[in-house]
A and B are shown apart, each in its own frame.
Chain A
Amino acid sequence: MQVSRRAFLKYCFGSAAVLGFDNSFLGTLDKALAAGGGPNILWLSAAGCSGCTVSLANLASATAPTDVADLLVNTIDLAFHPTLMGAAGDLAVATLRQASSGAYVLAVEGGIPTAFGGRTCTLWTEGGREFTALEAVRALAPGAAAVLAIGTCASYGGIPGGAPNPTGIRSVSAAAGRATINIPGCPAHPDWIVWTVAQLLAGVAPKLDASGRPAKLFGSTVHDRCPRRDHDWALGYGEDGACLRGLGCKGTATRADCPTRLWNSGTNWCVGANALCLGCTDPAFPDRFSPFYGSAGVLPGDHETTTKQCIACHDGTPDD
């Protein structure tokens, strides 16, 4: 595989601030790419909705790779991805088998169902037999250089794993019996995915938090960086600039950098459009926060809910 080293380095240097790279990482990346080559990426779509793939396609950067086409053509070898790949049927399966015979990173989108022997999600037919997502991750995870769980479903089960979890969804790590790098989000932000892939291409194992997420990306809560922290609470829907705590915002309990990174090329974010933070990067999403338009998962049972401003009781510093 040929990685376009110059283009990828240009991307990393150009996006360093946004992606949170420091000089020592860039030096390591430079050396690793100079050594040549890189692994195939095999992407499985399990019990999910393809939202993370669609989100990845929203990648944008001022420097190379400028978007997902640039990423796919010039930076990584995405050898298998059922939504995007040219091959179908037997040729797709043969491509997967060939790519997994060498070095590869396994990326999985969607949770892994285990009810009915895993047969509520089959990914391909091979030798006349259907292969379940469960079999696929168990077969492919052990030999992978790394296993990425893309999105909350793959990382923790997500919405298909919501009570009563009718198909027995488990996270990729639980199903495969191997630690994964979890890039949660419903969907995952394209920057979070690309940042993590960049780490791996450089041979760097990112530091993970207790939930298996890159600590660099999921260190602070949404509330920590929210521009509406000291604003009056919204009393209804469609109040620009109001704090959404009273409507059920989960930002105080959710770790993600959405308020500063923003979404869709820095255009907006959920709260920016007066929509609640849903807590979608959380290991217990959705059940911890359901019902969303209420205090589930955020306010202690005895928290005064008629207060219209956080600063009436809190001094406004992080973690207060």
Chain B
Amino acid sequence: MATVTIMDPVTRIEGHLKVELTIDRKGAAYQVTNARCTGTLFRGFETILKGRDAWDAPILTARICGVCPVSHSLAAVKALDAATGRKPPANGRLIRNLVLGANYLQSHILHFYLLAALDYAAGPGTAPWAPAWDLDLRPGGEAIVTNLAQAVEARRLAHQMGSIFGGRMPLPHTFVSGGATAVPTAERVAQFRDNLNWLTDFIRSIYIPDVELLARLYPDYLAIGKGSANLLSYGVFDLSDTSTKTLLARGVVAAAAPGNVKAFVADSITESVRSSWYADSTDNLKPSVGATVPQYPKTGAYSWLKAPRYGGLPHETGALARMWVTGDYRRGVSVMDRHLARAREALKVALAMGQWLDQLAEGQPVHNPQAARTDGNGLGLTEAPRGALGHWVQVKSGKIAFYQVVTPTCWNASPRDGKGVPGPMEQALIGTPVADPQRPIEALRVIHSFDPCLSCAVHVMMPGRAPTVVHRPG
């Protein structure tokens, strides 16, 4: 007889997530046979933005998430740049890359050491790390926790570095439409470089080896948590003022043909609401004309996340997708592959940041005020540390007439779509072996591998919903 285990709160993520697992006996052990992911916070940013001055968008949308605010700010200014025909000068592009890069390093290090690693090794024996489920903690993992203090320092330093051109971290606002506000000087560049060198060393000599150690201790997790294995990246870190080339490439990979990277077409994105509490009349709309018409109750719905689909299929997004599309990591798709790709991406970004520092030109402008028009439609596509992020804007009379955000965790933690196909995280959970249904640490490991950020996934729990079954051990 199946057990339904509700894990709520899922901790050591950003934001609010509830996961409902159906766990069945499979021979001598157990396995997850069904999974439903739900975010439990809704704030309504698209509503709050409507009617405000367009230049408020990069500031307000940054507060969608305090871990990846720079990505939202960047998507917003790119959308405004597109809508108004503004083109940042080279220094502006580089400042944007450097502040974003600093936050990538902070985010990846935070994620591995403070959020994910504690599924595999006991943290310091005090609150908040204790108590915790202590099962399947394999000998050797404690070496990772001995680096916890240094990792805390590393992510702090990454933010310190970012503040040189961000003003303050987190939640900087030196990005504006047309470029940036922070000015490069020799002194600032030297200070940034100093910090970057330390961080690059940390990533090479501590972070990457720790992830590789984890993969050696838990090799079974190279075959757990695959999910849909369709991969999507919008690309990030603009390398040129004259082309759309990015450090991490834009593209799409189908699970059936993992060596074949296809060009991304924005028009191929639709959002299903079949399992979401929105009116079916809004089903399968493109985000540029998306509508949010709440409907509750609704048969078969269980989430306030819509289900974004590309070409009608669920797609995983994040460091693994980016590194795969770029061609830098193609070992496989699993829990451990996500951690390995993320660590290697951190190094790739750190090395590129050194080059961007070299390219900054003292005395050259960081902002270009010229705009082709006041009003227009714009799409800002970028990548937050945890995946593909898009901001769609319509500016009319300088105000926000329409704003839509599709976030990486909406892709990853999406519910089932109109064909009943589960989202990437749900698929990754199904089939996961579980030793103890009351303490499904294995499921937690799968969830954490996606680096979920639920503040970004805008959705809501509705009133009056009857709770589902908890803990009926079979």
- A and B: interacting chains: yes
| CB contact list, B128-183 vs A, under 8 A | 128-133, 148-149, 152-153, 155-156, 159-160, 162-174, 176, 178-183
**How many Å from the CB of A143 to the closest CB on chain B?**
18
Q: Which of B9-17, B201-209, B327-335 contacts A (4 or more CB under 8 A)?
A: B9-17
* Complex alpha-carbon distance, A9 and B132, angstroms: 30
Residue in A273, A290, A292 whose CB lies within 8 Å of B167: A273
> B63 at the A/B interface (Cβ < 8 Å)?
yes
> B291 at the A/B interface (Cβ < 8 Å)?
no
> B7 at the A/B interface (Cβ < 8 Å)?
yes
Residues on A lying within 8 angstroms of B by beta carbon are 40, 45, 47-55, 57-60, 67-70, 72-73, 77-93, 95, 99, 113, 116-117, 119-125, 127-130, 158-160, 162-167, 169, 186-187, 236-240, 258, 263-265, 267-276, 278, 286, 290-294
**How many Å from the CB of B129 to the closest CB on chain A?**
4
Residue in A72, A88, A113, A267 whose CB lies within 8 Å of B11: A88
- Residue numbers in B under 8 Å from A53 (CB-CB): 66
Q: Are the C-beta atoms of B14 and A50 separated by less than 8 Å?
A: yes
Residues on B lying within 8 angstroms of A by beta carbon are 5-16, 18, 40-44, 47-48, 52-53, 55-56, 59-60, 63-67, 69, 92, 110, 114-115, 118, 122-124, 126-133, 148-149, 152-153, 155-156, 159-160, 162-174, 176, 178-183, 185, 191, 365-367, 369, 438-439, 444, 455, 460-463, 465, 467, 469-471
A-B contact pairs, 28 of them (CB 8 A): A51-B69, A55-B170, A57-B110, A60-B156, A84-B128, A85-B12, A85-B127, A86-B11, A87-B133, A121-B16, A121-B40, A122-B40, A160-B43, A162-B60, A163-B48, A166-B43, A167-B460, A187-B170, A238-B181, A238-B183, A240-B185, A264-B169, A268-B166, A269-B168, A270-B167, A273-B164, A275-B172, A275-B182
- Residue numbers in B under 8 Å from A93 (CB-CB): 9
Q: Are the C-beta atoms of A50 and B148 separated by less than 8 Å?
A: no
Q: Are the C-beta atoms of B153 and A50 separated by less than 8 Å?
A: no
* Complex alpha-carbon distance, A271 and B110, angstroms: 27
Which residue of chain A has the shortest Cβ distance to B44 in the bound complex? A166
Q: Are the C-beta atoms of B48 and A130 separated by less than 8 Å?
A: no
Extra contacts, 15 of them, besides A58-B170, A264-B162, A268-B168 (Cβ < 8 A), are A47-B41, A54-B110, A55-B66, A59-B156, A82-B11, A86-B11, A86-B123, A86-B132, A88-B9, A89-B8, A92-B11, A122-B41, A166-B48, A237-B367, A238-B179
Q: Are the C-beta atoms of B12 and A278 separated by less than 8 Å?
A: no
Which residue of chain A has the shortest Cβ distance to B53 in the bound complex? A291
**How many Å from the CB of B404 to the closest CB on chain A?**
15
- Residue numbers in A under 8 Å from B129 (CB-CB): 84-86
Q: Are the C-beta atoms of A167 and B44 separated by less than 8 Å?
A: yes
- Residue numbers in A under 8 Å from B118 (CB-CB): 86
* Complex alpha-carbon distance, A77 and B185, angstroms: 43
- Residue numbers in A under 8 Å from B11 (CB-CB): 82-88, 92
* Complex alpha-carbon distance, A164 and B471, angstroms: 40
- Residue numbers in A under 8 Å from B8 (CB-CB): 89, 122, 124-125, 130
* Complex alpha-carbon distance, A265 and B158, angstroms: 12
**How many Å from the CB of B371 to the closest CB on chain A?**
13
Q: Are the C-beta atoms of A286 and B174 separated by less than 8 Å?
A: no
- Residue numbers in A under 8 Å from B455 (CB-CB): 48-50
Q: Are the C-beta atoms of B65 and A50 separated by less than 8 Å?
A: yes
- Residue numbers in A under 8 Å from B463 (CB-CB): 116-117, 119
Which residue of chain A has the shortest Cβ distance to B180 in the bound complex? A238
Q: Are the C-beta atoms of B65 and A120 separated by less than 8 Å?
A: no
Q: Are A69 and B66 CB-contacts (below 8 A) given A45-B16, A290-B52?
A: no
Q: Are the C-beta atoms of A293 and B53 separated by less than 8 Å?
A: yes
Q: Are the C-beta atoms of B63 and A69 separated by less than 8 Å?
A: no
Q: Are the C-beta atoms of A77 and B127 separated by less than 8 Å?
A: yes
- Residue numbers in A under 8 Å from B462 (CB-CB): 116, 119
Q: Are the C-beta atoms of A292 and B59 separated by less than 8 Å?
A: yes
Q: Are the C-beta atoms of B182 and A291 separated by less than 8 Å?
A: no
- Residue numbers in A under 8 Å from B7 (CB-CB): 88-89
**How many Å from the CB of B147 to the closest CB on chain A?**
11
* Complex alpha-carbon distance, A95 and B53, angstroms: 45
**How many Å from the CB of B376 to the closest CB on chain A?**
18
Which residue of chain A has the shortest Cβ distance to B195 in the bound complex? A267
**How many Å from the CB of B51 to the closest CB on chain A?**
9
Q: Are A267 and B164 CB-contacts (below 8 A) given A85-B11, A88-B12, A286-B60?
A: yes
Q: Are the C-beta atoms of B156 and A49 separated by less than 8 Å?
A: no
- Most A C-beta atoms less than 10 A away, residue of B8, B467, B471: B8
Q: Are the C-beta atoms of B181 and A275 separated by less than 8 Å?
A: yes
